[in-house]
Amino acid sequence: MERLRLAVDGTPLLGTRTGVGTFTSCALTALAARPDLDVRAFAVSWRRRQGIVGHLPPGVRFVDRAMPARPLHFAWRRSEAPTLEWWTGPLDVVHGTNFVVPPTRHAARVLTVHDLTTVHFPALCDAPTLRYPALVRRALAHGAWVHTPSRFVASEVVDILGADPDRVRAVHHGAPPVSPDGAGERTQSRPYVLALSTIEPRKDLPSLVRAFDAIAADRPELELVVAGPDGWGTGAFQAAVDSAHHRERVRRLGWLGGEDRDRLLRGARVFAYPSLYEGFGLPPLEAMAAGVPVVATAAGAVPEVAGDAAVLVPVGDVDALAEGLARAVDDDDLRRGLADRGRLRVQEFSWTACAEGLAGLYRDAAAARRGN
């Protein structure tokens, strides 16, 4: 089989690792293992481009020509130039991993739309993020194909953005890797409910604080631990903590990575995921892989991902979230059942399968571009 020349936007590998960064890293690793793909990665950054090198798996070539972000984004919002091949050389497919795909001369274009938060909750987004729908529509108008991480988002891209359903493909992410059990000693002295999240409005951590506060009086040993980088929702989160009766048992750890993060996850009594809206939901899968029961809101694609392996509650319902947390904390049989179902559920989400689905999408997009 002819090898497809593929260029992948590795810019999300820069800086603090988010869900998009995890997808980009894990997908690149799985794609690089395929003999039918010739994979290279680029970063739309002038000074930080070398930062992706240490995150690239063997078999992925690095495009080392500087691509200054600000002028390129300005140009790409207004025209179809300059084309990516100026930096990469000839390509068959380019994959924009975070809503934006550069214009090309001959290569097919694929972009990942992770969710439509900007459409549903524009007040929860920062200014750069609010540009995504216009960029996606522009790419669609010039023949781009769309990858989404869930059927839920695929249907939204068709219904809301007007994409051709034949050019939209739902390919699930794999489960994020979690370090082996031997690294899983508890890192906190008391039992705790854990949330791993950027402090941003869409994650609705203030509701989690209020739900925890509602059950804390009857569980004097229980703590709430929130780990993740600051976003644009720290003020509301801190206000919820300050007004909580049991604020001294809410612990804010900031961002953690690697084994520190995995140890914290494995030691949790319950993992909480109180989002308002999700296009996929990697953290619940991480918790399931670690054998930790999950309590989550039925937000967006979360039911599609979690199946029967989580306690799901209505979005924004603090009382229901508190009740779900209390059940999962107190009921050993429920917790064991959730953990067992979670381990089985995770097996349905592999990065090898993700790469297989993406490779099929790339071939269909390339064939359409060639007119085959």
For residue range 125-178, list pLDDT tens digits in order. 878 888 899 899 999 999 999 999 999 999 999 999 999 999 999 999 999 888
Number of domain units in the chain: 2
If asked whether residues 226 and 323 sit together in one domain, one would say yes
Query: Any bridge partners for residue 271, and if so which?
Result: 194, 294
Rounded Cα–Cα distance for residues 104 and 361 (Å): 17
154 with 275, same domain: the answer is no
CA distances from 158 to 56, 80, 168, 275, 339 (A): 33, 23, 8, 23, 35
pLDDT tens per residue, range 308-333: 999 999 999 999 999 999 999 999 99
Are 21 and 122 in the same domain?
yes
Residues 244, 198 share a domain: yes
Q: How far is CA 137 from the centre of its chain?
A: 21
Domain co-membership, 190 together with 142: no
Q: Is the pTM of this model over 0.85?
A: yes
Name which residue leads in pLDDT, 217 or 179.
217
In this prediction, residue 259 carries a pLDDT of: 85
Pair (259, 281) in one structural domain: yes
- pLDDT value at position 48? 82
- pLDDT greater than 50 at residue 3: yes
69 pLDDT higher than 70: yes
Question: Would you state the pLDDT for residue 372?
Answer: 58
Confidence of residue 260 (pLDDT cuts 50, 70, 90): confident
Residue 181 confidence (pLDDT) above 70: no
Q: Which residues of 220-253 are buried (b: 16+ CB within 10 A; e: fewer)?
A: eebbbbbbbbebebeebbbebbeebebeebbebb
Cis peptide bond upstream of 82, omega within 30: yes
Q: What is the CATH number of the domain that holds 117?
A: 3.40.50.2000
What per-residue confidence (pLDDT) applies to 15? Answer: 82
- Cβ 112 vs Cβ 358: under 8 Å: no
The answer on 196 and 159 residing in a single domain is no
Q: Which of 60, 108, 67 is nearest to 87 (CA)?
A: 67
**Short-list 50, 9, 259, CA closest to 139:** 9
With a cut of 70, say whether residue 250 has pLDDT above it.
yes
Domain span at residue 310? 181-346
pLDDT at 184 over 50: no
pLDDT digits (tens, 9 = 90+) for 78-106: 889 899 999 999 999 999 999 999 999 99
Q: Are residues 167 and 272 in the same domain?
A: no
Q: What is the pLDDT of residue 220?
A: 96
Query: What value does the mean pLDDT take over residues 194-210?
Result: 94
Q: How confident is the model at residue 186 (pLDDT cuts 50, 70, 90)?
A: low
**Pair (232, 337) in one structural domain:** yes
Q: How many CB atoms lie within 10 A of CB 89?
A: 12
Let me know whether 91 and 137 are in one domain: yes
- Whole-number pLDDT of residue 73: 83
**243 plus 358 within the same structural domain:** no
108 shares a domain with 165: yes
Give CA angle at 299 (297, 301), nearest 5°. Answer: 125
310 CB-side CA count, 13 A: 31
For the record, the structure tokens of 351 come out as 């990065």
pLDDT (0 to 100) of residue 214 = 98
